[in-house]
C-alpha cells in the first residue's frame, strides 16, 4: 500500500511540475506576442492578448493539466500500437496488447 501511495504522489507531483512548466511557457509566449504586436502596432492582436490575460489561473492550469493527461493517453496508445507492430514473444501476447489498446 505504501508503495502505491508513493507512486501516486510522485505521478501527481510530476504532473504539477509539467503544468508549471507549461504555465511559465504560456506567460513567456504571451509576453513575446505582446512585444511583437507592439512593434507592428497591431491593435487586434494586442486586444486578443489582453483577453487571454483575463483567463483565471485556475482555468488555465486545469486546461493545461487536461492537455497533459490527454498527451499521456495518446502516447500510451501509440506505444502499445507500436508494440503490436513489432511484437516480442518474451513480454506479451497479441491478445493482451489488444485488450490494452
Q: What is the pLDDT of residue 24?
A: 96
pLDDT at residue 1 tops 60: no
Q: Decide: pTM greater than 0.85.
A: no
Output the CA angle 55-57-59, nearest 5 degrees. Answer: 70
pLDDT at residue 87 tops 80: no
Q: Give one word for 88, left, alpha or beta, with left for phi > 0 and alpha for psi -120 to 50.
A: beta
Q: What is the pLDDT of residue 6?
A: 86
Average pLDDT, the chain: 88
Q: What is the pLDDT of residue 97?
A: 66
Q: Please give the average per-residue pLDDT across 34-60, as a whole number.
A: 94
Q: What is the pLDDT of residue 40?
A: 94
Amino acid at each position: 500500500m505504501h508503495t502505491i501511495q508513493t507512486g501516486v504522489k510522485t505521478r501527481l507531483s510530476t504532473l504539477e511540475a509539467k503544468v508549471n512548466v507549461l504555465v511559465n511557457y504560456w506567460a513567456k509566449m504571451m509576453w513575446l506576442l505582446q512585444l511583437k504586436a507592439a512593434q507592428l502596432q497591431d491593435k487586434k492582436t494586442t486586444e486578443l492578448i489582453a483577453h487571454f490575460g483575463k483567463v483565471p489561473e485556475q482555468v488555465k492550469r486545469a486546461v493545461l493539466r487536461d492537455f497533459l493527461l490527454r498527451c499521456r493517453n495518446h502516447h500510451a496508445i501509440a506505444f502499445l500500437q507500436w508494440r503490436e507492430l513489432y511484437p516480442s514473444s518474451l513480454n506479451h501476447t497479441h491478445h493482451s496488447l489488444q485488450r490494452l489498446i
